[in-house]
Amino acid sequence: MPHHDEIMSTLGLAPTWRRRERMGLGVDAAIAVREPALVRDAGPLHHSAAARANTPEDDGARIVRIARLDWAGFAPDVDSCVACGLARTRKKSVPGVGDVRAEWLFVGEAPGAEEDARGEPFVGQAGKLLDNMLAALGMKRGENVYIANVLKCRPPNNRAPEPREVDACRPYLDRQIALIRPKVIVALGKSAATTLLDVEATIASLRGRVHRYAGVPLVVTYHPAYLLRNLPDKQKAWEDLLFARRTLRHGAVATASAEAT
């Protein structure tokens, strides 16, 4: 277990961050069997915006089409999406970033102003805090980590996502989960957690438990932007990340044990 002083430093409660040595998960990826999530066996499909411009698409056909996207077609498809209207107000779409074979998937609510300008999730001060917390676990953005949001476009003035916007964008997140096949999902913040779990609950009641989304274990913690305003809760967020790592390890060990019997 980390020493208390190390935890305080890791959480930014000490004067400076100290990067710890990378801590391997100790899991043989070759024997880790990931649970099925949505459509995986359909062949890849991607269409240009021009090809779809004059072709009306009902919701069912759209969901099926998105469920067949490969990585080459994913970001262009997100960028050309006009299903909910946010494309008219955002600057850049924010599909997601990271290791497409990652074991860890971090999901926030929606892009903010800086993310909208750069087209990448979790940048700015909140992104730096997230990167520091990943470093404390021996990880970093782009290596065994994928970062995304429920919404791929910024709502105007950072307002809360509307249900129709969530419904329109959810097939993209579901496809990312099917393509990545993560071993654990970390929901960052109450909005992302309650949206994914389809519940109305406090973040306190959702923390410290293993939930599931699309067949994948899901752990809830605070959004980095919230932690910047509420420093004492950084320690709780650190505990949540340690819990997520135990959840991942336990799942891998259980899978390996099942295969051995």
CATH code of residue 68 = 3.40.470.10
Residue 19 lies in a domain: no
Q: What is the pLDDT of residue 10?
A: 52
3-state secondary structure 67-131: CCCCHHHHHHHHHHCCCCCHHHCCCCCCCCEECCCCCEEEEECCCCHHHHHHCCCCCHHHHHHHH
Tell me the average pLDDT across 231-257: 85
Residue 211 lies in a domain: yes
- Going from the C-alpha of 33 to that of each of 38, 139, 150, 200, 219, the distances in angstroms are 16, 22, 25, 32, 19
Q: What angle do CA 176, 181, 182 make, to 5 degrees?
A: 100
| Residue % of the chain over a pLDDT of 90 | 72
Residue 24 lies in a domain: no
List b or e across 147-157, with b for residues whose CB sees 16 or more CB atoms inside 10 angstroms: bbbbbbbbbee
Tell me the average pLDDT across 233-244: 97
| Residue % of the chain over a pLDDT of 70 | 75
Residue 233 lies in a domain: yes
Which among 244, 251, 240 is positioned nearest to 218, based on CA atoms? Answer: 244
Contact 242, 14 (CB under 8 A): no
pLDDT tens, 77-121? 999 999 999 999 999 999 999 999 999 999 999 999 999 999 999
Left if phi > 0, otherwise alpha if psi is -120 to 50, otherwise beta: which for 229?
A: alpha
Q: For tokens 């062949």, what's the residue? A: 43
Residue 151 lies in a domain: yes
242: containing domain: 4-14+30-260
pTM passes above 0.85: no
pLDDT tens, 194-206? 999 999 999 999 9
Tell me the average pLDDT across 218-242: 97
Q: What is the pLDDT of residue 2?
A: 52
Q: What is the pLDDT of residue 5?
A: 54
For the chain, how many residues are written? 261
Above 60 in pLDDT, residue 44? no
Q: What angle do CA 191, 131, 14 make, to 5 degrees?
A: 100
Task: Output the six-digit token pair for 152.
Answer: 């791929």
pLDDT tens, 10-35? 555 443 333 333 333 332 222 233 33
Residue 62 lies in a domain: yes
Tell me the average pLDDT across 195-218: 96
Give the pLDDT band (50/70/90) at residue 222. very high
Which among 196, 192, 219 is positioned nearest to 206, based on CA atoms? Answer: 219
Contact 183, 103 (CB under 8 A): yes
Residue 202 lies in a domain: yes
Task: Output the six-digit token pair for 66.
Answer: 């998105």
pLDDT tens, 170-187? 999 999 999 999 999 999
* Domain total of the chain: 1
Residue 210 lies in a domain: yes
Q: What is the pLDDT of residue 11?
A: 57
221 burial via Cβ count (<10 Å: 0-12, 13-18, 19+): buried
Which among 203, 210, 197 is positioned nearest to 233, based on CA atoms? Answer: 203
